[in-house]
Amino acid sequence: MSTATTGLGDLRGVAAVSVFRGVPYATARRFGPPAPLSAWTGLRDATRHGPIPPQAPSRLRAAMGETDRRQDEDCLTLTIATPAADAAARPVIVFLHGGAYLSGAGSLDWYDGSVLARDGDVVVVGVNYRLGALGFLHLPGVAEGNMGLQDMVAALRWVRDHIAGFGGDPANVTVMGQSAGAHAIMCLLTMWDTQGLFHRAILQSPPPTLVPQSRAVARANAEALCAQLQVSADALAEVPVADLITAQMQVARQMARFGDITPPFLPVFDAMTDTATFIRVAAAEAGKRGIDMIIGTTREEMHAFLAGDPAMNPPDPQAIADRFAALTGSADSIALYRRRRPGASPMDLLGDLLTDHIFLFPALALADAVVQAGAQVWMYQFDWAPPASRFKACHCLELPFVFGNLPAWADAPMLAGGDPVQMAALSAALRATWVEFADSGDPHAPGLLWPPYRPDGRQTMIFGNVIGVAGDPSGAEWRGGI
């Protein structure tokens, strides 16, 4: 066993790499903001996980596998992995999980930071935050919205105030978010009360096109939830949580559109309801605060969403043509995508289109804007996939490699057929760059030189069967290679 001391009281965790589970960072009533904790007396047990936020099954479970954890609204906890709860002042990585603001938890075994902490000599913190309507409902007089973002702010404040007791340096905090977690980092950058709480950021598969909602749109979605439940707004606080989750997923199905992954409950910011503004404001704050970033995507983000959906096997040809026309201006542009992927199925072509327009192009636009605002960016693309995988290099595929805990993903179909030796080596290379960035602010790892991104050269590190830099070196100030 291992113990740590905080200003709130002492904790007993699991030894080896010391892991402290179910560490409370705030309390909250339904739809209310998180409130600070009261100190406890004696030694608090932190050897077991607490409940995860209430949620329905993930829409990516066909690729990632299933999770089975106790759920409860009393879920605002952290999972902390550290080489030792000493005074070493190590770099801190705070992970914000994805899941479309509807599913997931920082305490899942998938995101266990033990390997990353042990091999990188860093402190890794996983955050549970409220999801769905419980985290993002906006209905005046009932819920102001953004409760889940406020949870993240409370967690970052807890890290600032207490992480030194776990061997971490509160002056060297990197936030790492994937999917909705990366989207959340963009939102956090625009909030005045996050200043000084983190110093670098890693954005894995950010979807800037899923813009924050206006108050009007958020209120309409909240009213749709009330209609589904057949209750008044005033009664929402008393609805059983299971009924609330069922109703929010029915609202999500009602809102679903072909080739669109927008969830019904999102952060609410009236001033950032278009992609260009969202990117510009987040990037400007990154530049102003000096927040350097790693930003990247997987090569085939959308294949996890499409290949796991029975309605997409095969997808409707007219719907595909309509989506190409809407996103590119012409249904004929499918011919260009077909030329790029010889022998592709219609679903492959749709996946490539949506990957480009939901993830890749907006991520590049974000990188451009951050550099123009004065901060540094390192861009990557994760290309590895098991041979013949129907999911290809899909959304979430890099996560097992970032955390290095491949056994926790043994049942993930998206990894099936991968070479364990190759996977372990790729994970080691990826983790080395993430840790080096968290430690020094530059992801150059031994034997792996990674140039900073420049809009005129767009050099990008490719993590795949072969690791190396793609792009135009003549357009960048940096020169080098592996």
Task: Give the active site residues.
Answer: 179, 301, 395
Of all helices (H) and strands (E), which one includes residue 251? helix 241-255
Report the alpha-carbon distance of residue 467 to residue 474 in Å, rounded.
Answer: 20
For 109-209, list the strands marked E by DSSP: 123-127, 168-178, 200-204
Is residue 294 within 8 Å of 363, Cβ to Cβ? no
Is residue 107 within 8 Å of 89, Cβ to Cβ? no
- At 13, list the tokens: 């965790």
Using only C-alpha atoms, the chain has a radius of gyration, in whole angstroms, of 22
Report the alpha-carbon distance of residue 6 to residue 2 in Å, rounded.
Answer: 14
Q: CA distances (Å), 287 to each of 196, 222, 251, 339, 374, in order? A: 13, 35, 38, 39, 5
Pairing assessment for the beta strands 377-382 and 460-463 based on DSSP bridges: parallel
Task: Encode burial over 84-120: b for 16+ CB neighbours within 10 A, e otherwise.
Answer: bbeeeebbbbbbbbbbbbbbbbbbbebbbbbbbbbbb
Is residue 114 within 8 Å of 19, Cβ to Cβ? yes
Sheet architecture: strand order including 377-382:
18-24, 77-82, 123-127, 90-96, 168-178, 200-204, 292-298, 377-382, 460-463, 468-470
SS (H, E, C) 385-411: CCCCCCCCCCCCCCHHHHHCCHHHHCC
Label residue 407 exposed, middle or buried (CB < 10 Å: 0-12, 13-18, 19+): exposed
Pairing assessment for the beta strands 90-96 and 123-127 based on DSSP bridges: parallel
Q: Which residues pair with 463 in a beta bridge?
A: 382
Cβ neighbours around 466 below 10 Å, total: 9
